[in-house]
Structure 1
Amino acid sequence: MNPEQQMAIHQLEEKIHLFSSAVNGAFLASDDFVLSNTHISTDTFNLLLPTSAQIQDPNKVKAAIEHMRSQKLIFSTWIDHRLLHPDWTDLLKEYQLQEVERNTIMMLEHTGDIDPVTSSALTIKEVLDEQTLFDYKHIFIELFKGSTEAVALEDYFQRFSIEALHSKARMFVGYEHQKPVTTGLLFETNDSYGIYDVITKAEHRGKGLGSDMFHYLLTQTKNKQKCVILQASADGKNIYQRAGFQPIGEMAVFE
């Protein structure tokens, strides 16, 4: 794997580890994959992440998948498209896991020339107390409204501990006229930052509030020489390219 690919996979590995530990979940790491298990049936936070193209011990992967299934815990599999070796494609097919999404992995080399926020319709607060966590949760879960995943995420956030994030992940809520309307997450590893969960409530979209949150997150990096990595949907790719991000790969999501 090239260094950028390794960095992106390593960042996601650290993120899912942290967010499983935030609810006292389990984390399994092997030479070929890692698996976060929150003990809650959520495919948002239960992730199988392959870390090599070839599987050295197929039985170990199968045992991990079968354990999740025996516990009736749904999960998703996120795999860099360059790791889609027959070892993985055959195994995914065996367990009837199908590709449901493919995102572009994008990187900004540094944030040294990001202008500070001068004006915005948003008042942005970091999630440091129960009220801002409640607001963040409400916007996050609204994406899954009416689904079993929404119920699972309610359970996840009931068990969630902000303190467990150890400042490696900083969560933010944007307020318009004192009403919570958008969220964002800035995650830091030793060699990179990651931007996740830039979500705007449906009735407030189209006003640039998500873009304001995204720009604000870029201003919050303490080490301006570190790169920033994110995963963009087809709709968001052009927005991030205009901000200086460049494609470095693709991430396929199987469920």
Structure 2
Amino acid sequence: MIRYFAAFLLILGMLGHSASAQEASITEWRKDREEAFDQPSKPTPREKKATEPSLPRWSAGLNGGYAYRLFRAGRVYSHDEQEYIKDLKSGIAFGGDIAYFPWKHVGFGLRYEMYKGKANLDSLQSEKVTIQHLSGALIHRSFLKNGKTAILTSLLLGYQPYENKSAVGAQQFTFSGKTMNWGVSVGIEQPISPKFALNLTGTAMMGAIYRLQRKTEFSTETLHLSKDDSVDLSRFSLTLGFRFL
């Protein structure tokens, strides 16, 4: 009887150990799962967006190049007169500008340009022409796919003084006037460093003068011109320049 009782106790002990081990196993399993569930999931790392290069708000530049006036000449009777008109239409243009971009694609600016041209017809006649313009500019800026090369389109409106120093034989004249002007320009700008860029710009300017002041050595008079006799200041220029960003 005692032997059966001892065997019974032995069996209970084995069952208790098995249950304890199973419970411990379940607890360990639950512990792992609870730790896994309780631990906040780490956010999936996001790919960093490619940062856009910082765009300058202010820029200033200098430029110079070729210019061609678009006025219609009167009757031309000889080859020498043709060459004279050709020389008078062709000239150089140079100047500078400053721009401010409060937005990425739209900005404002000021532009100054001076045109100079001259022509000589033997020793009988000569002209030296200077046309200036000071304009305000509304600028649109867009970028090519590389994100650096910019296309700048500007609408110009401003003030345009004109001066023509002429000589006919020994007689000297100075014609001067001023008028409003407007124009458009399209340019491409390529940065070559964070603070420096090159640009190529084509500009078309429009304007005409209907009142001139004519000065000689002895007198000054004002000339009122008709539409057909007005001085056409329209011209096109192609300039190469550099900009400080």
Normalising by structure 1, report the TM-score: 0.17
The structure whose residues are more often strand, as a share, is 2
Give the structure with higher Rg (CA): 2
